[in-house]
Amino acid sequence: MGPGVVVTGLTLGALAVVSLLAFQANGAQDRAGGARPTTAATSSGPAASATPSASATPTVPPLPTSSGSGTRVVYSISSHYVWLIDPKKTPQIAAAFPVTPGTVEPTPGSYSVYSRTQTTTGTDGRQIEHVVRFAQQEGVVFGFSAAVDGATPTADPKAKTGGIRSGRAEGQLLWDFAPKETKVVVVA
């Protein structure tokens, strides 16, 4: 066997391995969990997907007009959507994404992030990360989090929980965006 045949064989083998790794990496985002976050196309216009997707991008509800001003996290009880707003940037909507609420909703109003935890166990027993707490009402703690396994199941109706779950990528965005004292506006 000549050296050309050996080099060709090694090259073909390397190409096969690289192709396999590229194929596996292509689906890694979907396996990592959750819907892809969306960002606004303009400061007042509709949102567009932050990353291209083969499936149709869900329509992002418009930012509620009663959502206040300044840098803030906006949570809509009716649409179960979160917007991350930074008025110093263009577009002002840094990200917008759907969430799954707990069994109890916070009262509409303005709050501040008072506590954050990198990882812990949620009230449903799931391992969660990027916990950003902003309110306590009648013994219920309200905050955003993401399940480590990427799941966003509907909360058990028998449990009294204020956890608002997002996908992992969205949880990371919110964690990075909302340190302590960040304003959180809850709208109906």
Would you call the peptide bond into 91 cis, given omega within 30 degrees of 0 as the criterion? yes
pLDDT at 54 over 60: no
- CATH 3.40.30.10: does it fit domain 34-187? no
pLDDT at 70 over 50: yes
Q: Give the model's pLDDT for residue 168.
A: 97
For residue 98, the SS3 value is strand
pLDDT at 71 over 50: yes
More confident residue, 17 or 2: 2
Residue 110's nearest CA partner among 64, 145, 148, 47 is 64
Q: What is the pLDDT of residues 138-179, one digit of tens each?
A: 999 999 999 999 888 888 888 899 999 999 999 999 999 999
Q: Give the model's pLDDT for residue 3.
A: 58
Q: Give the model's pLDDT for residue 32.
A: 38
90 close to 84: Cβ distance less than 8 angstroms: no
Q: Give the model's pLDDT for residue 123.
A: 84
Please give the average per-residue pLDDT across 54-82, as a whole number.
Answer: 89
Give CA–CA dist 101/145, Å, rounded: 10
117 close to 136: Cβ distance less than 8 angstroms: no
| Angular region, 52: left φ>0, alpha ψ -120 to 50, beta rest | beta
Which of the four pLDDT bands, split at 50, 70 and 90, describes residue 4? low
CA neighbours closer than 13 Å in the CB half-sphere of residue 171: 30
More confident residue, 137 or 26: 137
Q: What is the pLDDT of residues 72-131, one digit of tens each?
A: 999 999 999 999 999 999 999 999 999 999 999 999 999 999 999 999 999 888 999 999
More confident residue, 100 or 1: 100
